[in-house]
Structure 1
Amino acid sequence: MATFTSTVYQNEFLPDGGTDVNAIVRLGVSGAGRAGASGKAPGEIIIVDTSGSMGQVNMAAAKNAAMTAVDTIADGTFFAVVAGTHEAYLAYPMVRTGRGMVEMNPRTRAEAKQAISWFNAEGGTAIGAWLNLARALFGSMGDALGNKHALLLTDGEDRDESQADLDMAIRASMGVFQCDCRGVGTDWIVSEIRKVSSALLGTVDIIPDPSRMAAEFASIMQASASRGVTDAELRVWVPQGAQVLFVRQVSPTVDDLTARGVPVNPLTSGYPTGSWSDEERDYHVGVRLPAKALGQEQLAARVQLVVDGQPVTQGLVKATWSNDAALTTRISPEVAHYTGQTELAAAIQEGLAAKASGDEAGATTKLGRAIQLAVASGNEEATSKLKKVVDVVDAGTGTVRLKRAVDKADEMALDTASTKTTRIKG
């Protein structure tokens, strides 16, 4: 049986007239079990870009990786394989009506791998169409499935449909399934694929070397299979007259959930978190309260993790008004740390965007700030990836020079890793 925990990090003391409360709420799950622990079988869809740009090398690697993913999916899981070009094709199972997914067993595993072996690189790229088919396949299963997860591989820009079509497909898929996205090579657009993965509560990363694709696919499928707590929701209650300023996941990655809040009742909003394995996640919650008299105390927010409609753990965010400067000027180390990590992600993305547009001064400023934040917070992954894009003159002051020759894959790896955060040291 899963066990849930919560811990709140904050400085609850506000000065006279103070209104804004910030807190980091750490939520944890242990004993989550395997996907399917809810009693409903999990569902997996493998979406492989088979457009002409994949070429022989990437296509061969993708076929091998897709077969590896099929081998990794546990018996009893319902699954399907989609081939994506300027259209979306159901490669397996080969059905036209009824359920679009079949249960994994030795026979269906062998049939799926045979279908994958027939993939050819041809046609264009329309990722929204691929998502629409995946959504329809999950929908064809009715209420039979618990965890619904897709793995999407692409190698190029979404050129064969409008951005409006892609955005519409993303919105329609939100809340239906989670999707981990991977890009092979350097001809795809990180921000475009991040838009998919973020909305669908997944991850995004680059596979610069096709030979690493199979191991990456296996890892993604293993991670999906470990999520035994299905479709949990973060709920934030605030008192009458208060305002939720923002709700952000800040560990293990930065993901702003503010706009995704759905009213549960007049004082409570729910935010999607997807499925959980044995893990901890940190959330930064900002609340604005009406100022109260010195000495008064108030519950500023109640942050709950809700599973199957029932709260399983909660953290209480508090506010106390004081005229003691020693109390009100304290800064929560956790709040300060994750505020910096959020700024780091933005600085990397904005710096790379400035560099791509030819704004070298803006890129130098933003990436200099990024190296300053990365080194100060001990984010070794970000520091290492930044050093492949800039020469560091003085990390303490954020003084850098743009490298003249940068491998595009290194820039994309920095971009995809920009939202990954590190825990506070100590």
Structure 2
Amino acid sequence: MPDRTERVAEPDFRVEIDQNRFLPLGGREVHAVVSVTSTGPALVGADVRATELIIIDTSGSMYGEKINAAKQAARAAIEVLRDGVRFAVIAGHRQAEMIYPAGDTLATVDTSTRAEALDAVGRLRADGGTRMGAWLTRAAELFAAVDGGVKHAILLTDGQNNEVSGDFERTLRRIAGSFVCDCRGVGTDWKVEELRRIDAALLGGGPGIIADPADMAADFRAMTRASMGKAVADVALRLWTPRHAVVRYVKQVAPTVQDLGDRGVERAAQAKDYPTGSWGTENRDYHICVEVPPGDPGRQLRAGWVRMVIPGLHGTEDRVLASGNILAEWTADEHRATEINPRVAHYTGQVELARAIQDGLEARRSGDEDTATTRLGRAVALANETGNEETARLLGKVVEVLDPVTGTVRLRPTVEKIDEMTLDTNSTRTVRTRPRPSGPDDGAPGPG
């Protein structure tokens, strides 16, 4: 059982900007890596409101070892929930069935409800289809009844979604950002891309594969402990840009790659909020690209003002947690203007690495061996260049590496499906670089 002496703590946030601010004459694109660090005590207490949902696929294909392992995993998650947390266990099949508590309400963790939930998990039975949109809709409804706080769900499946693709996409658009969901697939009969779409809509930490059902309980325990360590919810990255500037993209690039560009919501003049979900004690990096009108030699410009904020609700003021500036300065010095910032280069390579792996695996599945060889070879070279040793190891199970520097590879004639899917799910996990020490401009006041 978890330690009941946990204490309340909200992290302190820090923003650091890494970039080469110098642009050549006529240059327009400004690139920056925004490193966000939240620091503070790792333990949180009852004053931090939290809601946890455990969604278990109970379709017919889960019969036997997998459903038994899922029961143990759900129990492991329940055991590490702290007292005072609202929670529910949902069985997912043709519909979303409340296993605990009964009805359409949430329970609150205490000694009694924990014991009841541990017992109720035994009622999980494998029977029916797989309709993930229905499961997520029920989860969104339960979360909507909760007034604020950290909202987190775990979704486990072993199969492919039976819903019409268009209906599923509409569901994801409707519930996007309403809670955080970490997805896991057990076995090899599910689709990575389906879980990746859920992950993108609900700001998860990247879909994961559980190759051996025996590993499920430890994974659920770790995910729940991480959720219990979140201390502040609904944090947004607010990006202000000057007039006539265009935001080309906003991407999370560590610990996973996630494109936030189409998630921006205008909250103030020339400023959009990009959702980042809940935070505990952790580090995340974002790559921002802003296009600005070209300037004269020596001209300096604030190309972006980044703030981590908790947007105010019902007329309350926004809370600014930290801020930093993205700068631009035009120069005729070719050396200064063409120097690529190492951290920007690193994460540009990491994003390209993820895309190369996904493209290469898709080409391999479709029988296009030339494209598969080219793209997976590029992935090998990028993994070597960026120091992503784990990805390089996984690539070695799919291709025979002849030269890691040039990316010269041969496709392996036979590949275990578990190895292919592990590489696919791992593709968006990145290797982080160290940020430089804070500069004098990092926390400068921004425009009104």
> Does structure 2 retain, via aligned residues, the 8 Å contact 1:33–1:228?
no
Report the Cα offset of residue 270 of structure 1. 0.4
Q: In structure 2, which of residues 306, 310, 334 is the aligned counterpart of residue 325 of structure 1?
A: 334
Q: How far, CA to CA, are the matches of 2:360 and 2:165 in structure 1?
A: 24
Residue 351 of structure 1: aligned partner: 360
Mapping 1:97-112, distance limit 5 Å: 100-112=105-117
Residue 268 of structure 1: aligned partner: 271
Q: In structure 2, which of residues 403, 412, 415 is the aligned counterpart of residue 406 of structure 1?
A: 415
Residue 179 of structure 2: aligned partner: 177
Residue 383 of structure 1: aligned partner: 392
Mapping 1:17-416, distance limit 5 Å: 17-31=26-40, 34=43, 39-96=47-104, 100-141=105-146, 143=147, 145-159=148-162, 161-203=163-205, 204-308=207-311, 309-416=318-425
Report the Cα offset of residue 175 of structure 1. 2.3
**Alignment root-mean-square deviation, CA:** 1.4
Report the Cα offset of residue 41 of structure 1. 2.1
> Does structure 2 retain, via aligned residues, the 8 Å contact 1:36–1:147?
no
Give % identity.
47
Task: List runs of 5+ in structure 2 lacking aligned partners.
Answer: 1-9, 312-317, 436-448
> Does structure 2 retain, via aligned residues, the 8 Å contact 1:44–1:79?
yes
> Equivalent residue of 2:63, what SS?
helix
Amino acid at match of 2:235: A
Report the Cα offset of residue 345 of structure 1. 0.3
Amino acid at match of 2:169: D
Q: Which runs of 4+ in 1 moved over 6 A?
A: none
Amino acid at match of 2:252: Q
* Partner deviation per Cα, 1:288-311 (whole Å, 9 max, x = no partner): 111111111111101111125221
> Does structure 2 retain, via aligned residues, the 8 Å contact 1:36–1:42?
no
> Does structure 2 retain, via aligned residues, the 8 Å contact 1:35–1:224?
no
Report the Cα offset of residue 387 of structure 1. 0.6
* Partner deviation per Cα, 1:35-59 (whole Å, 9 max, x = no partner): 567x452000000000001121101
Amino acid at match of 1:317: I
> Does structure 2 retain, via aligned residues, the 8 Å contact 1:390–1:403?
yes
Question: Using a 3 Å threshold, how does the CA distance of structure 1 residues 272 and 35 change in structure 2: closer, same or farther?
Answer: farther
Amino acid at match of 2:219: E
* Partner deviation per Cα, 1:130-164 (whole Å, 9 max, x = no partner): 001111111233x1x410100000000001x2112
Report the Cα offset of residue 31 of structure 1. 1.1
* Partner deviation per Cα, 1:223-267 (whole Å, 9 max, x = no partner): 001111211100100001111110001111111100100111230
Amino acid at match of 1:21: V
* Partner deviation per Cα, 1:60-113 (whole Å, 9 max, x = no partner): 1001111111111111100000000011101110125xxx10101111111112
Q: How far, CA to CA, are the matches of 1:310 and 1:55 in structure 2?
A: 48
Task: List runs of 5+ in structure 1 lacking aligned partners.
Answer: none
Report the Cα offset of residue 423 of structure 1. 2.0
Residue 445 of structure 2: aligned partner: none
Which stretch shows the higher mean deviation, 107-116 or 199-208? 107-116
> Does structure 1 retain, via aligned residues, the 8 Å contact 2:149–2:232?
no
> Equivalent residue of 2:243, what SS?
coil
Report the Cα offset of residue 325 of structure 1. 1.2
Q: How far, CA to CA, are the matches of 2:26 and 2:269 in structure 1?
A: 26
Q: How far, CA to CA, are the matches of 1:351 and 1:382 in structure 2?
A: 14
Which stretch shows the higher mean deviation, 124-133 or 317-326? 317-326
> Equivalent residue of 1:73, what SS?
coil
> Does structure 2 retain, via aligned residues, the 8 Å contact 1:35–1:41?
no
Question: Using a 3 Å threshold, how does the CA distance of structure 1 residues 256 and 284 change in structure 2: closer, same or farther?
Answer: same
Amino acid at match of 1:339: T
Q: How far, CA to CA, are the matches of 2:202 and 2:300 in structure 1?
A: 39
> Does structure 2 retain, via aligned residues, the 8 Å contact 1:32–1:227?
no
Q: How many equivalent residue pairs?
A: 419
> Does structure 1 retain, via aligned residues, the 8 Å contact 2:172–2:201?
yes
> Does structure 1 retain, via aligned residues, the 8 Å contact 2:251–2:258?
yes
> Does structure 1 retain, via aligned residues, the 8 Å contact 2:249–2:288?
yes
Amino acid at match of 1:398: G
Amino acid at match of 2:171: A
Amino acid at match of 1:299: R
> Does structure 1 retain, via aligned residues, the 8 Å contact 2:383–2:392?
yes
